[in-house]
């Protein structure tokens, strides 16, 4: 008898090739799970409904003391644990906060109103001197910077409310330096410089206190982002962002610190690109990147799906999976939701959906679980002999928690959920027991694991036993 042994799942989700041509050690479906430090599949934590907001609030932010929501009317009575900040501009009605950052632990916010007016606010007070039409704000080197069209405007040093006179006040017209920079979409710290993003252009600038002394050091063409909230610092030297071709990383090419882009999302770019193309322009603006603080995983939030990147270099783990935003109500029914905004505060990820705020893993432990069904599909494995027929005999697996196991041997419809046979339900490792029978004859086989129950669930490894139909070894 021969055996296909899948020892670990360090490669995570891989959508680049056909399921029957994908190597072992990766997954062709990985939903509501992630890869842990041992290279195992692990069910994700719960999204726990925590705050119910009154109507007429928008967006989500945080300072060192707590989380904030915004509105243009008087405080409508937000729940304890949430702070309301009024962004009043006459009788205008707030639509959402397009961008925000902290300056001396106070929020500088750019408010978008329903009449398309844009206004800057610092600590809840309207900033009459700030540049009109600003769409992105960031604190850099004791100054506030606001992107408005092609102009990168800077405030007075140590004074985010002064934009007309004083030390450091001024602007740089990026369109004077490169075609394609007519609209700045985002800014990011890069090495000891600043990356200035447009939709199809990235410029690297050394920004000085006096804007006249600022110097552009590099330009990268045919890459950029239309999703400013996707721009995320990852580790010491990477800046992740979503591009039309997928998720990209801005990083140093060599010891010179010259910037280059790499395809950090290459294994799931087909999924990301397909999802991006399904979004409206406003939904693209709301794509969010963040770092989940407990394990340092990168999340790319795209409306109703979260792509999750697990990177543990010491363990040589670089793996993508996905989460579906949902929770279970008091009746035990699953409720799916779309994510409008998200923020990290006090080692927790807060998700806003409509007038609800949910906390990943719950406030108390950050590791609360629920009835979520984690799903992990192995590729169609062939025992290093893709054209030889095999008689499948049995399988073993190392697991904790309860998992339903099925198998598919149909290459005509390899991604169809219907073309599979249920095998069993397991709740412990089976290597020291008689193998669990698998019936079928084919050239390839795909095992599929689905968790059940409210507890933690892990799949560590599996082995598939078979004989050759032609009788040869």
**What are φ and ψ of residue 174, in 5° steps?**
-65, -25
Classify residue 50: in a domain, yes or no. Answer: no
Total domain count, the chain? 1
The percent of residues above 90 in pLDDT, for the chain, comes to: 88
Which burial class, exposed, middle or buried, applies to 87 when counting CB atoms under 10 A from its CB (0-12, 13-18, 19+)? buried
Cα angle value 360/364/365 (rounded, 5°) = 70
Residue 279 pLDDT > 90:
yes
Render pLDDT for 150-202 as a digit per residue (tens, 0 to 9).
999 999 999 999 999 999 999 999 999 999 999 999 999 998 899 999 999 99
How many helices and strands, by DSSP H and E, does the chain display? 2, 43
Q: How many CB atoms lie within 10 A of CB 49?
A: 19
Classify residue 459: in a domain, yes or no. Answer: yes
**What are φ and ψ of residue 166, in 5° steps?**
110, 170
Q: Which two tokens stand for residue 364?
A: 């108390």
Beta bridge partners of 86: 71
Q: How many CA atoms lie within 13 A of 163 on its CB side?
A: 20
Classify residue 441: in a domain, yes or no. Answer: yes
* Mean pLDDT for the stretch of residues 1-19: 93
Q: What is the pLDDT of residue 132?
A: 82
d(CA 439, CA 277): 41
Which of 411, 399, 405, 403 has its CA nearest to residue 423? 405
Q: What is the pLDDT of residue 130?
A: 83
Q: Encode 397-416: b = buried (16+ Cβ within 10 Å), e = exposed.
A: bbbbbbbbbbbbbbbeebee
Q: What is the average pLDDT value for the chain, to the nearest integer?
A: 94
The stretches of 326-446 forming alpha helices (DSSP H) are none
Render pLDDT for 378-408 as a digit per residue (tens, 0 to 9).
999 999 999 999 999 999 999 999 999 999 9
Render pLDDT for 208-266 as a digit per residue (tens, 0 to 9).
999 999 999 999 999 999 999 999 999 878 999 999 999 999 997 766 678 888 889 99
Which range among 117-121, 367-371, 467-471 shows the weakest confidence by mean pLDDT? 467-471
Q: What is the pLDDT of residue 426?
A: 96
Residue 375 vs residues 45, 214, 307, 336: alpha-carbon distances, Å: 14, 51, 14, 16
Classify residue 272: in a domain, yes or no. Answer: no
Q: What is the pLDDT of residue 254?
A: 67
Classify residue 71: in a domain, yes or no. Answer: no
The CATH number of the domain holding residue 437 is 2.60.120
Q: Which two tokens stand for residue 184?
A: 């700045």
Q: Which two tokens stand for residue 354?
A: 């409509």
Q: What is the pLDDT of residue 253?
A: 73
Q: What is the pLDDT of residue 417?
A: 58
Specify the pairing of strand 458-468 against strand 446-452: unpaired
Classify residue 199: in a domain, yes or no. Answer: no
Q: How confident is the model at residue 22 (pLDDT cuts 50, 70, 90)?
A: confident
DSSP, residue by residue, 124-160: TEE-TTSPTT--EEEEETTEEEEEETTEEEE-BTTBT
d(CA 460, CA 455): 16
The percent of residues above 70 in pLDDT, for the chain, comes to: 98
Classify residue 273: in a domain, yes or no. Answer: no
Classify residue 429: in a domain, yes or no. Answer: yes
Higher pLDDT, 46 or 410: 46
> Could you list the residue range(s) of the whole structural domain that residue 449 is in?
2-44+373-468
Do residues 177 and 203 make contact, with C-beta atoms less than 8 angstroms apart? yes
């Amino acid at each position: 008898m021969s055996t296909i042994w899948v020892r670990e799942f360090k490669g995570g989700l891989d959508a680049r090739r056909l399921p029957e041509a994908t190597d072992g050690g990766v997954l062709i479906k990985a939903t509501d799970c992630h890869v842990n430090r041992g290279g195992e599949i692990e069910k994700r934590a719960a999204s726990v409904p925590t705050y119910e907001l009154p109507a007429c609030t928008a967006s989500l932010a945080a300072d060192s003391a707590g989380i904030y929501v915004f509105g243009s009317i008087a405080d409508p009575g937000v729940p304890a644990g949430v702070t309301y900040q009024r962004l009043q501009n006459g009788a205008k009605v707030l639509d959402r906060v397009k961008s925000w950052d902290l300056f001396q632990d106070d929020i500088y916010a750019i408010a978008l109103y329903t009449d398309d007016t844009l206004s800057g606010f610092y600590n809840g007070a309207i900033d009459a001197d700030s540049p009109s039409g600003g769409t992105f704000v960031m604190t850099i080197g004791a100054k506030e910077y606001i992107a408005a069209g092609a102009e990168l405007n800077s405030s007075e040093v140590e004074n985010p409310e002064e934009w007309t006179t004083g030390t450091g006040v001024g602007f740089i017209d990026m369109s004077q330096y490169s075609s394609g920079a007519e609209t700045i979409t985002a800014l990011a710290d890069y090495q000891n410089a600043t990356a200035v993003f447009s939709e199809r252009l990235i410029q690297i600038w050394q920004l000085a206190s006096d804007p006249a002394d600022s110097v552009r050091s590099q330009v990268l063409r045919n890459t950029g982002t239309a999703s400013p909230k996707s721009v995320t610092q990852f580790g010491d030297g990477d800046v992740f962002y979503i591009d039309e071709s997928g998720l990209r990383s801005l990083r140093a090419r060599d010891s010179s610190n010259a910037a280059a882009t790499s395809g950090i999302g290459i294994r799931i770019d087909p999924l990301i690109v397909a999802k991006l193309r399904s979004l409206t322009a406003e939904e693209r603006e709301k794509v969010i990147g963040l770092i989940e603080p407990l394990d340092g995983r990168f999340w790319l939030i795209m409306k109703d799906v979260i792509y999750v990147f697990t990177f543990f270099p010491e363990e040589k783990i670089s793996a993508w999976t996905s989460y579906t935003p949902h929770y279970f109500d008091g009746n035990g029914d699953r409720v799916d939701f779309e994510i409008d905004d998200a923020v990290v505060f006090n080692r927790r990820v807060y998700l806003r959906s409509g007038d609800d705020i949910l906390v990943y893993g719950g406030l108390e432990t950050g590791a609360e679980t629920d009835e979520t069904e984690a799903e992990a599909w192995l590729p169609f494995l062939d025992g290093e002999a893709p054209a030889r027929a095999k008689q499948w005999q049995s399988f073993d697996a190392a697991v904790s928690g309860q998992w339903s196991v099925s198998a598919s041997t149909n290459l005509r419809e390899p991604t169809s959920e219907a073309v599979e046979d249920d095998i069993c339900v397991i709740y412990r490792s089976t290597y020291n027991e008689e193998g669990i029978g698998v019936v079928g004859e084919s050239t390839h086989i795909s095992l599929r694991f689905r968790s059940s129950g409210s507890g933690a669930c892990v799949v560590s490894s599996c082995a598939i036993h078979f004989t050759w139909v032609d009788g040869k070894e």
